[in-house]
Amino acid sequence: MKYLQEREGNEGNQILAEEIFCYTRIQGNLRNAVEFYRGRNILQYDMILLPVYTTSHWSLLVIYVRSKTIKYFDSLGSFSRGAICLNTLLSFFNEIETVRSNTWKTIMERNITIQDNGYECCVYVCMFADYILQGLSLKNRKRNAAGYRQHMKEIITM
């Protein structure tokens, strides 16, 4: 994720790729998370990529700050998990915003590729984030997951 942030930063985009356990911090103790993030001004970015780890599964929240939209992407298509993640993040943003508002819009993306195994969710999260940043479609990407795994390996070993 940090690679994507650096790549997009070089293109002039204000992207924050948050640490992998950011959501866990927010979910675990909202008050402590609010205090931790209040001084960081994370709402200055155009987009925030937030990997979510829950019960042996990875998914992705993408926050479009300017439009106040939060999208949830899950390669297993778990909408109940998505609803919990979106509500948790809404509570967090309502606490850290200077002027509280109920103007955040949430979307569970349904038009994405669903994985057909139980072990590639992290690859899908990285692939979704990369393709979103490039403006590419997330549908029918099953064939690309293996290739993307190789792409990730090349980036890591550069």
What are 53-98's pLDDT values in tens digits? 988 899 999 999 989 999 999 999 888 999 999 999 988 888 887 6
* Residues of the domain holding 29: 2-156
SS3 category, 21: coil
Q: Residue 114's domain is classified under what CATH number?
A: 3.40.395.10
- In tens, the pLDDT along 121-140 reads 988 998 899 889 888 888 76
Going by the DSSP 8-state scheme, the letter that residue 63 receives in this structure is E
Q: Give this prediction's pTM.
A: 0.87
Q: Are 68 and 79 in contact (CB under 8 A)?
A: no
Tokens 């403006």 sit on residue:
135
Better-predicted residue by pLDDT, 10 or 80: 80
Determine which helix (DSSP H) or strand (DSSP E) holds 40, and give its type and residue range.
none
User: Number of folded domains in the chain?
Assistant: 1
Dihedral sign for Cα atoms in the order 10, 149, 127, 84: negative
Spell out the residues 6+ positions from residue 80 whose beta carbon is closer than 8 angstroms to its own: none
Q: What is the CA radius of gyration of the chain?
A: 15
* CA 88/CA 54 separation, integer angstroms: 13
Report whether pLDDT(151) > 90: no
Q: Are 61 and 72 in contact (CB under 8 A)?
A: yes
Instruction: Give me the pLDDT at residue 41, please.
Output: 80
